[in-house]
Amino acid sequence: EDQVTQSPEALRLQEGESSSLNCSYTVSGLRGLFWYRQDPGKGPEFLFTLYSAGEEKEKERLKATLTKKESFLHITAPKPEDSATYLCAVRYGGATNKLIFGTGTLLAVQP
Amino acid sequence: DGGITQSPKYLFRKEGQNVTLSCEQNLNHDAMYWYRQDPGQGLRLIYYSQIVNDFQKGDIAEGYSVSREKKESFPLTVTSAQKNPTAFYLCASSTSGPNSGNTIYFGEGSWLTVV
């Protein structure tokens, strides 16, 4: 079954404590993997798109990496304003070009 | 500023009523989408449209209807046939094309509550 699984479901960090969020997928014909940040009551904000294994992208304290089976979102020296839910989505398939979302990781960074 | 505008932000519906959620984008995107978000579940696709005057059902289309008369607009009607409509609704858009990993951009969402 095609699916996207994010772990952990929730993560609590101290300010400055680096960590990683995981997004594993079992689909065929990957066309793109997307990371979003979602604040409570708001729409997801686009962060990164990764297209092929080995690709990496960075933005401020965030770095996304991609392998053939999973993606990691590394958060270096997080600040309280990094607290949010981080969503992963995978686009795959041929003509159908489907997109499925994981359920997200709720990140809380304490000062 | 370019973006996706959803309205209203909050909407209350009585049992048996139809309600329409508005979505407008000025990104010049061909494709538009409606998703539903419920606690503990991933976003689920309701309807999508890749071009004006054409749209396709997503995974949970029952009880919903859409129209795409203009490139910029993709309104969603939640009909009385939708048994559990209370949710957070997200409109999104992207450039079109079946052979690319087009990034989807989202609006700010609309909360619908049945009272």
Q: What is the pLDDT along chain A (111 residues), one digit of tens a residue?
A: 788 999 999 999 999 999 999 999 998 888 899 999 999 999 999 999 999 999 999 999 999 999 999 999 999 999 999 999 999 999 887 655 678 899 999 999 999
Residue A111 CB: number of other CB atoms within 10 A? 7
Q: Which residues of A touch B103 (CB under 8 A)?
A: 32, 34, 46, 49
What pLDDT is recorded for position B41?
83
Q: Which residue of A has its CA nearest to B58?
A: A98
Alpha-carbon span B66 to B61, nearest angstrom: 10
Looking at per-residue pLDDT, the higher value among B2 and B74 belongs to: B74
Res A96: pLDDT: 58
CB contact under 8 A, A36 and B100: no
pLDDT single digits (tens) B13-62: 888 899 999 999 999 999 999 999 998 888 999 999 989 999 999 999 99
- B39 touching A (Cβ < 8 Å): no
**Alpha-carbon gap, residue B8 to B22, rounded angstroms:** 7
* C-alpha to C-alpha distances, A25 to A98, B10, B99, nearest whole angstrom: 13, 34, 20
pLDDT at B101: 62
DSSP assignment string, B6-20 = EE-SEEEE-TT--EE
Q: Measured between CA atoms, how close is A19 to chain B, in angstroms?
A: 22
